[in-house]
Every structure is written in structure tokens, then in C-alpha cells.
Structure 1
Amino acid sequence: MTVRAILRAAAVLGAGSLALTACTTSDNSGPRADRSSESRPGAPAPDQSSAPAQTAAPDDNSGRVLAQVTGRDSIVLTITGVERAASGKSVTVSATLKNTGAKVFFGISAYGGTDASIKGRMHSLAGATLTDTAHNVRYNVLRDTAGGCLCSTALRALKPGETVPVFAQFPAPPASVRSVDFQLPTFPNSTIPLETAR
């Protein structure tokens, strides 16, 4: 092959290489620019969150805690409501009893108090009291016409981790009283707010 033929071949190869390089650079830069411009409109704005929206829990006072005390054998009393009747004559205390211990609790009978005239008191909240400390007056649980307490009855042993709802109804202190002490045998006193009837 002559020198001229070699130079001509080299020139053709060099031009082809330059053309290939130009095409490769152009192909890479073009799509990159296109991809970036296409992805921007679909990207979330900085203040948007990809997490699902949370809705508020219904306001049913199910998680309300007015007072909480621990009694014998790791039984926890949580007072969740104190409602004055519209008539102004009674107050109902709502609560839960939870066994936070590791053994079955059989001591429910202590909550019935010592008044033997109350029918079925041994497995009830008949021993609960409400005290108006401002006037130094203590109120016992109300009774029905049959002599039973207006409170939770037929309570059974509590298994470990078990929770039961309970209530007790009392004569209402004067409307001016804003707080009272609730006491159940084997538990410390609990001071709780007393709201007016709605």
C-alpha cells in the first residue's frame, strides 16, 4: 500500500471516530436533559409528605384519665369520668380496674365495704365513698329500693392483665363544689374534678 493510500485510510478512520464521538456525546446529553426536565414536574413539592394522612380519634372520652391509684396486689384504679346528673341530685363516677400483677386477684370482696345491710355488697363497689372536703361531708353509694347499691355488682376475680369497667353513684354535693375525694377500700384517696351538669 502506498503512503498516500495509508494517509487517506487514516483520514477516513479519524473522521469516522470523530463522528462517532460526537454522536455518543450528543446522545448522552440530550436524553439526560430531557429526563431531568420530565421528572421535575412530577416530583413532590418540599412541603409535601409521602406519609399517609392521620385522622383524629373520635372525642368519646374513652382515653380520659382524671385520677389513677394503685391498690393491693397491683390492682390499678383509673377514674375516667365524673358526671353530675341534670337533676343535680346524683353524681356518677366511672372507672376501670386493671390487674397489672402476675397472679389472679381474688380480693374483690374488699371493695364491698363493711355495711352488711347492703344487698350483694361482697362483689361490688358498695364500699366506695365520695367526700366533699370543703364542707367535710362524706357520701356513701346510693341504694335501690331492694337495698342493693347503685354501683357495679357481680364482680369476679381479675386475671393478670384483665381490665373491667366499673361505676358508683352517689348523692350530689352542692353545685358550688368543684372537686371531691373518691375512695375505694384498699386504694388511696383520689381527688377528682366535679363539673356542673351539661
Structure 2
Amino acid sequence: MNNRHVRNVRRAGAAALLVSTLVFSVAACGGDKGGQDKAPAASSESGKDKEEEAPEGETLPDRSSTLATLKNDKGIEMVVYTAKRDSGGFLTISGDFKNPGSEGFTTPVEWSGQEEAVKGAGPSLAGMTLVDSVGKKRYYVLRDTDNRALTTSNYTSSIEAGKSLNFFAQFPAPPNTTSKVDLQFPGFPNATIEIS
């Protein structure tokens, strides 16, 4: 084997390794679902045993503490459990929408926000915003390269009586000096939540 042939084999091996790494990364980030985040199926709240039985590929929120509980005029509760920064410069909000009533609740189109491009991607929580009143900035739900909101999406159009819908929404993180933000979501009162 001459040196030129060895170099070609090494290049081909490096290229194959790079391609397999990219394929694995896309699959790990949800590429096998077409890039769309799927909302966890509506489920009843029934303690820690049920929380640990999340369907494959779905992550339930950490319910060990509650940052805010909001209620809309239809009696639907929005319970926010976490507002966590991560090292990538993002802030992820997670929680549940709960329907404690005796009738189903149809989720309003306003939850998807006002932007036409985002509306075309199906139901989402792109209408959620965060306000840093000290820094005088408003933060919107992040979008992916196909303009889909990085939030719970494609959920069923209703929350049945006694059931809940898990949610998450990812935002750019405010500066580290900001410890609290105001959460705003259509149909619910504003709430100040603490960032961890």
C-alpha cells in the first residue's frame, strides 16, 4: 500500500465518521420525527409513579416545586414548575395545563401566537412571552430553522375533563443578573416567576 492510497483510505474513514456522527446527532435531536416536537398526550395527574412512566421520547416536567399557578376564565389551570437556564444560553419553562372541570376545554388558536409562519406549523405555545421588566426586554419562544416554535406543539385540540397537558417552551436566556421574569400567555393573568 502506497502513501497516497493510505491517505485516501483515512480521508474516506474520517468522512464516514463525520456523516455517522451527524446522522446520530439529528436522530438524537428528534430528526426522526421530522423536527417537530410532539406534546405529551393528555394524561391525568396521579402522583410520582405515573410521572416516571412517560411515553418513549417524552419528558415530563419536574413537579417537585411550583413557581406559579394561573387560572383562565374557563377554569383551566396553568401550573409552572420550572424556569431553568442551561449552559447554551437558553431558558426553558415547563409545566402543565390542567382541566379540573367536568367538561372538555378546546385550546384557543391564540396560544399559537400572531405570526403567520408559526401558525402554519400547527398548534403550539408560540404565544407565550417573557418580560424582563428590569432590563426592559421581551423574549419570544425560540424558532428552529424551519420557523417552528421550540415549544410543545401538535397537541390535541382539547383537554378532556380531569386531564392535563404537559408543556415546555424555550426562550433566549436573560442576562445572569436577571433572577425573575414576567410570564405572559393568552387568556391567563401575568405571573412573575423565578429563574433557577
TM-superposed deviation, 1:107: 2.7
* 1:107 aligned partner: 107
* 2:195 aligned partner: 194
Q: What's the CA shift string for 1:55-83, capped at 9, x where partnerless? A: xx9xx942311100001311100000111
Q: How does 1:1-198 map to 2 (within 5 A)?
A: 61-87=62-88, 89-118=89-118, 120=120, 122-156=122-156, 157-195=158-196
Q: What's the CA shift string for 1:55-114, capped at 9, x where partnerless? A: xx9xx9423111000013111000001110113x21000010001222111134221121
The answer to whether the 8 A contact 2:100-2:161 is kept is yes
Number of aligned residue pairs: give it.
Answer: 136
Aligned sequence identity (%): 34
Select the structure that is richer in helix.
Answer: 1
CA distance in 2, matches of 1:67, 1:117: 30
| SS of aligned partner of 1:175 | coil
* 2:9 aligned partner: none
* 1:48 aligned partner: none
Which amino acid in 1 is paired with 2:162?
G
Q: For the aligned residues, what is the CA RMSD?
A: 1.8
The answer to whether the 8 A contact 2:112-2:119 is kept is no
TM-score normalized by the length of structure 1: 0.64
| SS of aligned partner of 1:77 | strand
TM-superposed deviation, 1:119: 5.0
Structure number with bigger Rg: 1
* 2:21 aligned partner: none
Which consecutive unaligned segments of at least 5 residues does structure 1 have?
A: 1-56
Which consecutive unaligned segments of at least 5 residues does structure 2 have?
A: 1-48, 50-60
